[in-house]
Amino acid sequence: MNNYKSADAQYREGTLGREIFPLMAGPSPHRKCYHVHKDLLCWYSPYFKKTLRGSFREAKALKLILRDTEVAVLGVVVDWLYTQSLPEHDDPRIQACIGRWNEPITGVYIFSDRYDIPDLREHAMDDFYTYFTNDDGEDMPRYSVINTAFNNLPRSASLCRFCIDVYARYWSQDQDDEGEVTARADLPKDFLAGLMIESAEVMKHLVKTGSKPALPERCHYQE
């Protein structure tokens, strides 16, 4: 990051540059447009800085259509750019738009990885980790989340590694409802291979010490 005042601080003070860029998501004719300050996009994302300030075709365009992004996910991303906050798991906007909290947050993580927004990626991972290591959260990330993550991220991504670690330590087959049992057949090979390797390490620790190893601390999933 540059050492001058952050773009979001400038926005709060009313000193942010006035240049606006339209970001669009969703299939036509249901596509939605979000108008975002260019300075915010360029501050947080090297990708958008190169795209909007460089010689790319998009830099000269009047808008950018993100065809691989859900409308609700882009809405969360834009809100984060201006507030640096992500919705809670019981946020009615999330429940109404996409369903379970961890699915849109997974989409936000993927967006931040795809468009190179490191701060947002870390924030999404923080919330994901906290939620699934909190007694008030769900027991496990759903298989739909695992499919989405592994089909859109490298195996080395923090979110993918976390899913493997959680399942290797805490999963039992009686946790899966009928829908999850059916969904097992579609689990990605990278997830299953990683789970097999990590489960072997967990069992080795169990035999040696009499207990399974604890889930790694949050810092283990920093990128």
Summarize pLDDT for 46-58 with one digit per residue, the tens: 998 888 876 655 5
Summarize pLDDT for 186-205 with one digit per residue, the tens: 999 999 999 999 999 999 99
Residue 115, pLDDT score: 94
Closest CA to 126 of 155, 156, 158: 158
Alpha helix (H) ranges present in 45-101?
46-53, 71-83, 92-97
Closest CA to 101 of 67, 76, 71, 133: 76
DSSP string, 179-204: HHHHHGGG--HHHHHHHHHHHHHHHH
Residue type present at position 223? E
Residue 132, pLDDT score: 85
Q: Which residues, given as ranges, of the chain have pLDDT below 50?
A: 1-5, 59, 137
